[in-house]
């Protein structure tokens, strides 16, 4: 039977709780999750299946089924919120994407992605994030890199010396409400960050054994928490899962805490989720750091996203001429004119006002997310406009690269 004939026998429908076993089976097959990996993450027999139950309750999950109700291809949309330049946006987190190999090449996932974009648009999720298992694949679907992941490795001799700070550090469990409160304050003031509710915190620890992790909270001299470390010590290595701080005092205090382990460890390994390398902040600047792309994003609805986007400065009329390979509603002209005296919000129309900015959805996304600046994108031929409009883009698009430390 031809692929087209096989596809004609399939049907798209929601993946509800009664398909939980099939949902997990497909995930484990596609992402090659082994029993050993599950055990190392703290799961016991059957626990992964139970732990995924909230996903099917909270998220939008749908897929292709055979006539005998076998799930063969699926996609999941997490309902999230993110901070984009200090404005909170609904975000559709795409995950759980997979198709059994015998059904590959039929366009099943292409159809699911189109439907996912339609569902996100209807739900007011005008921006979408995902972790790419193939950057070229998702790039062809309209997503673009929006954040980096820096891994650093310090010898014990490279740990910065202790400095005097007025506060103190207290160890606690990673589930301590104070940890969540500090992160929430951080996320609501940090571009790109995910707003973590209970569901998001569960997902944060999905593939790690949180029982073996420790939290260290920095309190200032007034007893107010200003930062935290999530870490563990293993094989003489101090491993940092995440370091969050709301002040430089807290950053120094947390490094003092790491320094206090000097006699116990040979090295410190950790993660940074912005483009800010650690070396510049340390006296020892020849540490080992590696950088790789992390998450991707795509604008789901250009018109609605532009209307909500927090532009800066005085806005003179211009228009985007956008191309999108998947979402037909994003193909066309989006005229930009100022509202409220030219500061902040804009009016968006289908009229080609001012000069054009020719751009695809991938480039528009990475530019408005702040991952790459307009001048650089123009230099590498990712956008085309005149020099005056290019300067305007530099003025009205807020500066700052995204922070995103989560995984789903």
Q: What is the pLDDT of residues 363-386, one digit of tens each?
A: 999 999 999 999 999 999 999 999
Whether the Cβ atoms of residue 229 and residue 240 lie closer than 8 Å to each other: yes
For residues 192 and 278, state if they share a domain: yes
Residues 330 and 372: beta-carbon distance below 8 Å: no
Give the C-alpha distances (Å, rounded to integers) separating 46 from 25, 43, 245. Answer: 12, 8, 37
pLDDT number for residue 47:
52
Question: Contact, 230 vs 238, CB < 8 A?
Answer: no
Residues 37 and 165 in one domain: no
187 lies in the same domain as 205: yes
- Residue-number span of the structural domain to which 388 is assigned: 301-396
Residue 170 has pLDDT above 60, yes or no: yes
Q: How many domains does the chain have?
A: 3
Vertex 194 angle, CA 319 and 342, to 5°? 30
How does residue 24 score in pLDDT terms, banded at 50, 70 and 90?
confident
Helix residue ranges per DSSP H, 15-83: 20-30, 35-40, 47-51, 53-58
193 is a domain residue:
yes
Q: Do 207 and 326 have their domain in common?
A: no
Q: Are residues 163 and 259 in the same domain?
A: yes
Residues 156 and 259 placed together within one structural domain of the fold: yes
Residue 41 has pLDDT above 50, yes or no: no
Domain-embedded: residue 35: yes
In a domain, 385, yes or no: yes
pLDDT value, residue 269: 95
What is the spatial distance between Cα 23 and Cα 30, in angstroms, rounded to a whole number?
11
Summary mean pLDDT of the chain:
91
Domain of residue 38, CATH code: 3.40.630.30
Domain CATH for 333? 3.30.1050.10
Given this model, what pLDDT does residue 60 score? 93
């Amino acid at each position: 039977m031809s692929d087209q004939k096989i596809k004609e026998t399939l049907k798209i429908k929601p993946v509800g709780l009664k398909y939980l076993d099939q949902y997990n089976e497909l995930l484990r097959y596609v992402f090659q999750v082994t029993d050993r990996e599950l055990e190392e993450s703290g799961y016991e027999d059957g626990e992964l299946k139970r732990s995924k139950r909230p996903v099917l309750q909270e998220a939008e999950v749908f897929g292709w089924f055979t006539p005998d109700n076998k799930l063969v291809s699926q996609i999941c949309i997490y309902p999230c919120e993110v901070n984009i330049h200090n404005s909170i946006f609904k975000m559709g987190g795409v995950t759980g994407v997979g198709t059994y190999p015998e059904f590959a090449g039929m366009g099943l996932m292409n159809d699911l992605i189109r439907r996912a974009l339609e569902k996100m648009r209807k739900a007011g999720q005008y921006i979408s994030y995902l972790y790419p298992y193939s950057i070229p694949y998702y790039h062809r679907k309209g997503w673009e890199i929006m954040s980096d992941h820096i891994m650093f490795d310090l010898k014990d001799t490279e740990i910065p010396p202790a400095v005097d700070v007025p506060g103190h550090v207290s160890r606690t469990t990673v589930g301590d409400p104070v940890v969540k409160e500090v992160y929430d304050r951080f996320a609501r003031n940090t571009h790109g960050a995910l707003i973590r509710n209970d569901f998001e915190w569960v997902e944060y620890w999905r593939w790690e054994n949180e029982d073996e992790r420790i939290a260290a909270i920095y309190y200032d001299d007034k007893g107010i928490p200003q930062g935290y470390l999530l870490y563990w010590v293993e094989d003489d290595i101090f491993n940092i899962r995440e370091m969050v701080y709301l002040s430089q005092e807290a950053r120094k205090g947390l490094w003092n805490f790491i320094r206090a382990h000097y006699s116990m460890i040979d090295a410190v390994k950790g993660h940074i989720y912005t483009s800010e390398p650690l070396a510049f902040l340390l006296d020892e600047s020849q540490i080992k750091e590696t950088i790789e792309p992390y998450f991707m994003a795509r604008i789901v609805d250009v018109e609605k996203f532009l209307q909500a986007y927090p532009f800066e400065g005085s806005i003179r009329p211009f228009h985007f001429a956008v191309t999108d390979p998947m979402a037909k509603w994003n193909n066309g002209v989006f005229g930009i004119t100022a509202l409220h005296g030219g500061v902040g919000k804009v009016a968006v129309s289908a009229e080609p006002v001012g000069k054009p900015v020719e751009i695809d959805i991938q480039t528009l996304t990475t530019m408005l997310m702040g991952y790459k600046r307009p001048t650089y994108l123009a230099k590498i031929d990712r956008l085309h406009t005149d020099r005056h409009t290019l300067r305007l883009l530099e003025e009205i698009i807020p500066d700052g690269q995204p922070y995103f430390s989560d995984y789903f």
